[in-house]
Structure 1
Amino acid sequence: MVSAESKAQIQTPTEAKDYLPMSEVDEKPTFPGGINEFYKFIQANYQTPKVQGLEGKLYMTFVIEKDGSVTGVKTLRDIGYGTGDEAVRVLAKFS
């Protein structure tokens, strides 16, 4: 399973978008149906490489925009074999 964390980014007021740290957001984003539905979505869409003994965690970062779309999807750390690229592909479905 893929572990995912969302992190709001802080930008200066002169930039086009207004980002707030997660601690300052009035309403934190939720996946329709809750976190368990998010995990089910990931399990249904993420294609694990067919490599014997492959295990580990992926660390991803992304921004959830005010309209609920996902932008800035990046892999912070993966376990190789295209696992990070696959996670980016799946999370990009929310764009």
Structure 2
Amino acid sequence: MLISKRERRPEYASGQAEMYKFIKDNLRYPTDGSCVVGNVYVNFCVEADGSITNIKVLKGLCKSCDAEAIRVISIMPKWLPSLEYGTKKPVKGYVTIPWYAH
């Protein structure tokens, strides 16, 4: 559900820089040689309790990279949920996961 009037958008609790550090620290590069350099675009729902559900790859690189992107998003700590008029609401979130040559 997209909210048009928000008091706060959903956000990673310790900020965007820490979110990308979490991704970098937890991302496991597949060893099957199938991955290329690029980005995996992922969307998901940040629920009212801050949990992440309904993780989907919008634009991927390869099956291994896409599966790993979903795994990393699924193990993230809870986010700060969106607030609309003081009420926590579920909304869609988006993350771009960069893949570099290894």
Query: TM-score w.r.t. structure 2 length?
Result: 0.64
The answer for the alignment partner of 2:87 in structure 1 is: none
> Which of 39, 42, 45 is matched with 2:26 structurally?
45
Unmatched 5+ stretches in structure 1 = 1-18
SS of match in other structure, 2:54: strand
Higher helix share: 1
What is the root-mean-square deviation of aligned Cα atoms in Å? 2.1
State the structure with bigger RCO (CA 8 A, min sep 6), 1 or 2. Answer: 2
Give the number of aligned pairs.
76
SS of match in other structure, 2:44: strand
Unmatched 5+ stretches in structure 2 = 79-102
The answer for the alignment partner of 1:86 in structure 2 is: 68
Alignment of 1:2-81 (within 5 A): 19-21=1-3, 23-50=4-31, 51=33, 54-81=36-63
Higher strand share: 2
Query: TM-score w.r.t. structure 1 length?
Result: 0.68
Q: Identity rate of aligned residues, in percent?
A: 33
